[in-house]
Amino acid sequence: MADRKLLNIELGRVTVEEYRALQPSGTVVVLDNIRSAHNVGSIFRTADAFRCSRVVLCGISAAPPSAEIHKTALGAEMSVPWTRFEDTMDAVRSLREEGYTVVSVEQTVHSVKLDSFVPEEGKKYALVFGNEVDGVRQDVVDASDFALEIPQFGTKHSLNVSVSAGVILWHFRP
């Protein structure tokens, strides 16, 4: 049986104004020194898809307005609120003061496997995604409430940061 693709007009998407009026999900994405503006844009787009409360850009992470971010974000950098911190530790401290549980998405000795983790309803989470080469800074991992790891079964031991964001944010979806 053939299946017809939906037209964009049939998808029932909200406008930027409607998006910003929605109840915040309680999930914040923290980007710890992401080198690629294309990865930043892709994460904005994923954050929009899963209605994240905001994206926090830290260190060398590119910030809007940026043609490279826009190329992959497709306008999501205008719907998802964002803030900037020069240092990721300052962002972590600020988010903790706002009542967020800080979670580093990283492979650590005691990391919790994603497939065994269930987010608590009503709890606010700040999910820290790290640099494409070095991952989440060790001092940020140390300051986190815990680390969350995506189980992997192949020969590689990492995923692209924007892919990791997609997997993790789907798990935290409202």
* H or E, element range at 27: strand 27-32
Inter-residue contact 55 to 76 (CB < 8 Å)? no
pLDDT, one tens digit per residue, over 17-45 is: 998 898 889 999 999 999 999 999 999 99
Mark 22-37 as b/e (b = at least 16 C-beta within 10 Å): eeebbbbbbbbbbbbb
Q: What is the pLDDT of residue 123?
A: 96
Inter-residue contact 69 to 44 (CB < 8 Å)? yes
Q: What is the pLDDT of residue 31?
A: 98
**What are the residues facing 104 on neighbouring strands?**
128, 147
Reply yes or no on whether the pLDDT at 174 is more than 80.
no
Residue given tokens 């306008």 in the structure block: 75
Reply yes or no on whether the pLDDT at 5 is more than 80.
yes
**Average pLDDT estimate for 46-64:** 97
Reply yes or no on whether the pLDDT at 48 is more than 80.
yes
Reply yes or no on whether the pLDDT at 54 is more than 80.
yes
Domains of the chain listed by start with CATH number: 14-171 (3.40.1280.10)
pLDDT, one tens digit per residue, over 66-100 is: 999 999 999 999 999 999 999 999 999 999 999 99
pLDDT, one tens digit per residue, over 105-155 is: 999 999 999 999 999 999 999 999 999 999 999 999 999 999 999 999 999
Alpha helices per DSSP H over the chain: 16-21, 37-49, 67-73, 76-79, 88-97, 138-143, 161-171
